[in-house]
Amino acid sequence: MSFLSFFKRYKKFGVFFSVLCIIIISIIYNALNVKKPLPIYQPAMVSEELVDSSIQHQMKYHKIADFSLTNQNGKTITQDTYKDKIYVADFFFTTCQTICPIMTDHMYQIQKEIINDDDVMLLSHSVTPIIDSVAQLKKYAKEKGVIDRKWNLVTGDKKQIYELARKSYLAVKTQGNGDEYDMIHTENFMLIDKKRQIRGFYDGTKPEDIESLLEDIKTLKDES
Protein backbone atom coordinates (compact mmCIF):
# COMPACT_ATOMS: atom_id res chain seq x y z
CA MET A 1 0.00 0.00 0.00
CA SER A 2 1.40 3.42 -0.97
CA PHE A 3 1.59 6.25 1.56
CA LEU A 4 -1.08 8.17 -0.40
CA SER A 5 -3.46 5.22 -0.27
CA PHE A 6 -2.82 4.80 3.46
CA PHE A 7 -3.56 8.48 4.05
CA LYS A 8 -6.82 8.36 2.06
CA ARG A 9 -7.93 5.24 3.90
CA TYR A 10 -7.39 6.73 7.35
CA LYS A 11 -8.15 10.38 6.56
CA LYS A 12 -11.45 10.46 8.45
CA PHE A 13 -9.88 8.80 11.47
CA GLY A 14 -7.01 11.30 11.40
CA VAL A 15 -9.40 14.26 11.32
CA PHE A 16 -11.48 12.79 14.14
CA PHE A 17 -8.39 12.08 16.23
CA SER A 18 -7.04 15.62 15.67
CA VAL A 19 -10.33 17.21 16.72
CA LEU A 20 -10.50 14.95 19.79
CA CYS A 21 -6.97 15.98 20.80
CA ILE A 22 -7.86 19.67 20.47
CA ILE A 23 -10.97 19.20 22.63
CA ILE A 24 -9.02 17.32 25.33
CA ILE A 25 -6.26 19.93 25.37
CA SER A 26 -8.86 22.72 25.66
CA ILE A 27 -10.60 20.99 28.57
CA ILE A 28 -7.31 20.50 30.41
CA TYR A 29 -6.26 24.11 29.77
CA ASN A 30 -9.56 25.50 31.04
CA ALA A 31 -9.50 23.25 34.08
CA LEU A 32 -6.04 24.43 35.02
CA ASN A 33 -7.02 28.07 34.60
CA VAL A 34 -10.23 28.01 36.62
CA LYS A 35 -9.91 30.27 39.66
CA LYS A 36 -9.86 28.28 42.86
CA PRO A 37 -12.34 29.40 45.52
CA LEU A 38 -10.81 31.47 48.31
CA PRO A 39 -10.40 29.73 51.68
CA ILE A 40 -12.77 30.48 54.53
CA TYR A 41 -10.47 31.24 57.45
CA GLN A 42 -11.16 29.79 60.87
CA PRO A 43 -9.40 30.69 64.14
CA ALA A 44 -7.52 27.36 64.16
CA MET A 45 -5.94 28.34 60.81
CA VAL A 46 -4.42 31.59 62.13
CA SER A 47 -1.36 32.27 64.30
CA GLU A 48 -2.31 31.86 67.97
CA GLU A 49 -0.78 35.22 68.91
CA LEU A 50 -3.53 36.94 66.88
CA VAL A 51 -6.45 34.93 68.27
CA ASP A 52 -8.19 35.06 71.63
CA SER A 53 -7.50 31.89 73.61
CA SER A 54 -11.22 31.17 73.93
CA ILE A 55 -11.54 30.44 70.19
CA GLN A 56 -8.04 29.33 69.17
CA HIS A 57 -9.16 25.80 68.35
CA GLN A 58 -12.39 26.70 66.52
CA MET A 59 -12.38 25.04 63.09
CA LYS A 60 -15.73 26.08 61.56
CA TYR A 61 -18.62 28.54 61.58
CA HIS A 62 -16.45 31.60 62.29
CA LYS A 63 -18.01 34.97 61.36
CA ILE A 64 -17.50 38.63 62.18
CA ALA A 65 -19.57 39.49 65.26
CA ASP A 66 -22.18 42.25 65.44
CA PHE A 67 -20.74 45.67 66.28
CA SER A 68 -21.71 49.29 66.87
CA LEU A 69 -19.00 51.93 66.43
CA THR A 70 -18.78 55.60 65.43
CA ASN A 71 -17.22 56.87 62.21
CA GLN A 72 -15.43 60.07 61.18
CA ASN A 73 -18.75 61.88 60.77
CA GLY A 74 -20.17 60.87 64.15
CA LYS A 75 -22.45 58.35 62.46
CA THR A 76 -23.15 54.97 64.05
CA ILE A 77 -21.69 52.15 61.96
CA THR A 78 -22.94 48.60 62.50
CA GLN A 79 -22.81 45.26 60.74
CA ASP A 80 -25.92 46.41 58.83
CA THR A 81 -23.84 49.15 57.17
CA TYR A 82 -21.91 46.32 55.54
CA LYS A 83 -24.84 43.99 54.90
CA ASP A 84 -24.44 42.18 51.57
CA LYS A 85 -21.09 43.90 51.03
CA ILE A 86 -17.60 42.61 50.42
CA TYR A 87 -15.22 44.70 52.50
CA VAL A 88 -11.58 45.15 53.47
CA ALA A 89 -10.89 45.71 57.18
CA ASP A 90 -7.82 46.78 59.10
CA PHE A 91 -6.68 48.21 62.45
CA PHE A 92 -4.69 51.42 62.82
CA PHE A 93 -4.32 54.62 64.81
CA THR A 94 -4.01 58.16 63.54
CA THR A 95 -0.82 59.06 65.40
CA CYS A 96 1.08 55.97 64.20
CA GLN A 97 4.26 56.93 62.33
CA THR A 98 5.52 53.47 61.35
CA ILE A 99 3.40 51.12 59.23
CA CYS A 100 0.08 53.02 59.39
CA PRO A 101 0.90 55.68 56.76
CA ILE A 102 1.84 52.94 54.29
CA MET A 103 -1.27 50.93 55.12
CA THR A 104 -3.50 53.99 54.78
CA ASP A 105 -1.94 54.87 51.42
CA HIS A 106 -2.65 51.33 50.23
CA MET A 107 -6.23 51.51 51.50
CA TYR A 108 -6.55 54.72 49.49
CA GLN A 109 -5.32 52.86 46.40
CA ILE A 110 -7.94 50.15 46.99
CA GLN A 111 -10.57 52.88 47.40
CA LYS A 112 -9.65 54.24 43.95
CA GLU A 113 -10.03 50.78 42.42
CA ILE A 114 -13.45 50.12 43.97
CA ILE A 115 -14.84 53.66 43.79
CA ASN A 116 -17.60 52.71 41.33
CA ASP A 117 -18.25 49.24 42.74
CA ASP A 118 -21.27 49.33 45.04
CA ASP A 119 -20.53 45.82 46.32
CA VAL A 120 -17.22 46.71 48.00
CA MET A 121 -16.35 48.95 50.97
CA LEU A 122 -13.54 49.60 53.47
CA LEU A 123 -13.47 49.63 57.28
CA SER A 124 -10.59 50.85 59.47
CA HIS A 125 -10.75 50.43 63.25
CA SER A 126 -8.75 52.60 65.65
CA VAL A 127 -6.80 50.68 68.32
CA THR A 128 -6.46 53.88 70.36
CA PRO A 129 -10.09 55.01 70.52
CA ILE A 130 -9.48 57.38 73.45
CA ILE A 131 -7.08 59.41 71.28
CA ASP A 132 -8.97 58.91 68.03
CA SER A 133 -12.07 60.96 68.68
CA VAL A 134 -14.58 61.70 65.93
CA ALA A 135 -12.88 65.06 65.33
CA GLN A 136 -9.46 63.40 65.08
CA LEU A 137 -10.76 60.77 62.66
CA LYS A 138 -12.41 63.49 60.54
CA LYS A 139 -9.16 65.42 60.30
CA TYR A 140 -7.28 62.25 59.37
CA ALA A 141 -9.93 61.29 56.82
CA LYS A 142 -9.62 64.65 55.06
CA GLU A 143 -5.83 64.41 55.00
CA LYS A 144 -5.88 60.89 53.55
CA GLY A 145 -8.59 61.36 50.92
CA VAL A 146 -11.22 59.15 52.56
CA ILE A 147 -14.52 59.06 50.67
CA ASP A 148 -17.27 58.66 53.26
CA ARG A 149 -19.57 56.40 51.24
CA LYS A 150 -16.74 53.89 50.62
CA TRP A 151 -14.56 54.00 53.72
CA ASN A 152 -15.41 54.26 57.41
CA LEU A 153 -12.78 55.06 60.05
CA VAL A 154 -14.31 53.96 63.34
CA THR A 155 -13.76 54.57 67.03
CA GLY A 156 -15.72 53.51 70.11
CA ASP A 157 -15.56 51.35 73.19
CA LYS A 158 -12.05 49.92 73.56
CA LYS A 159 -13.27 46.55 74.85
CA GLN A 160 -15.53 46.12 71.84
CA ILE A 161 -12.74 46.99 69.40
CA TYR A 162 -10.37 44.64 71.24
CA GLU A 163 -12.86 41.78 71.05
CA LEU A 164 -13.56 42.45 67.38
CA ALA A 165 -9.83 42.42 66.67
CA ARG A 166 -9.08 39.26 68.65
CA LYS A 167 -12.30 37.27 68.33
CA SER A 168 -13.64 38.31 64.92
CA TYR A 169 -10.92 39.64 62.60
CA LEU A 170 -8.04 37.69 64.22
CA ALA A 171 -5.82 40.66 63.58
CA VAL A 172 -4.00 42.10 66.63
CA LYS A 173 -1.55 41.09 69.33
CA THR A 174 -2.12 41.71 73.02
CA GLN A 175 1.39 42.84 73.99
CA GLY A 176 1.50 46.49 74.91
CA ASN A 177 1.76 48.71 77.98
CA GLY A 178 -0.28 46.32 80.08
CA ASP A 179 -3.52 48.30 80.18
CA GLU A 180 -6.80 46.40 80.05
CA TYR A 181 -7.70 45.52 76.45
CA ASP A 182 -4.36 46.84 75.26
CA MET A 183 -3.50 45.75 71.73
CA ILE A 184 -0.89 46.15 69.04
CA HIS A 185 -2.25 46.15 65.53
CA THR A 186 -0.53 44.28 62.73
CA GLU A 187 -0.06 45.18 59.07
CA ASN A 188 -2.87 42.78 58.12
CA PHE A 189 -5.73 43.64 55.82
CA MET A 190 -8.65 41.21 56.03
CA LEU A 191 -11.00 40.46 53.14
CA ILE A 192 -14.54 39.83 54.37
CA ASP A 193 -17.26 38.30 52.20
CA LYS A 194 -21.00 38.98 52.12
CA LYS A 195 -21.56 36.25 54.72
CA ARG A 196 -19.19 38.00 57.18
CA GLN A 197 -16.51 35.34 56.74
CA ILE A 198 -12.77 36.02 56.48
CA ARG A 199 -11.57 35.06 53.00
CA GLY A 200 -8.04 36.46 52.98
CA PHE A 201 -5.18 38.02 54.95
CA TYR A 202 -2.77 40.43 53.26
CA ASP A 203 0.27 42.45 54.28
CA GLY A 204 -1.04 46.00 54.00
CA THR A 205 2.48 47.37 53.56
CA LYS A 206 3.31 45.33 50.46
CA PRO A 207 2.16 46.46 46.98
CA GLU A 208 2.15 42.87 45.69
CA ASP A 209 -0.28 41.87 48.46
CA ILE A 210 -2.58 44.73 47.48
CA GLU A 211 -2.60 43.42 43.91
CA SER A 212 -3.48 39.95 45.22
CA LEU A 213 -6.26 41.43 47.36
CA LEU A 214 -7.79 43.23 44.38
CA GLU A 215 -7.70 40.00 42.36
CA ASP A 216 -9.33 38.14 45.25
CA ILE A 217 -12.11 40.73 45.39
CA LYS A 218 -12.86 39.86 41.74
CA THR A 219 -12.89 36.16 42.65
CA LEU A 220 -15.35 36.81 45.48
CA LYS A 221 -17.62 38.82 43.19
CA ASP A 222 -17.65 35.93 40.70
CA GLU A 223 -18.50 33.56 43.56
CA SER A 224 -21.47 35.53 44.83
Instruction: Count Cβ atoms below 10 Å from residue 122 Cβ, excluding itself.
Output: 21
Of 103, 71, 63, the C-alpha closest to 203 is 103
Per DSSP, helices labelled H in the chain are 3-9, 11-33, 100-114, 134-144, 158-163, 207-223
Question: Which pLDDT value is given to residue 9?
Answer: 55
| Tens of each residue's pLDDT in the chain, 224 residues | 554 554 455 555 555 555 555 566 555 544 454 668 999 999 999 999 999 999 999 999 999 999 999 999 999 999 999 999 999 999 999 999 999 999 999 999 999 999 999 999 999 999 999 999 999 999 999 999 999 999 999 999 999 999 999 999 999 887 655 466 777 889 999 999 999 999 999 999 999 999 999 999 999 999 86
What single-letter DSSP state applies at residue 37?
A: P
Cα(173)–Cα(68) distance, integer angstroms: 22
pTM, rounded to two decimals: 0.83
Question: Which pLDDT value is given to residue 205?
Answer: 97
Question: Which pLDDT value is given to residue 181?
Answer: 73
Question: Which pLDDT value is given to residue 196?
Answer: 98
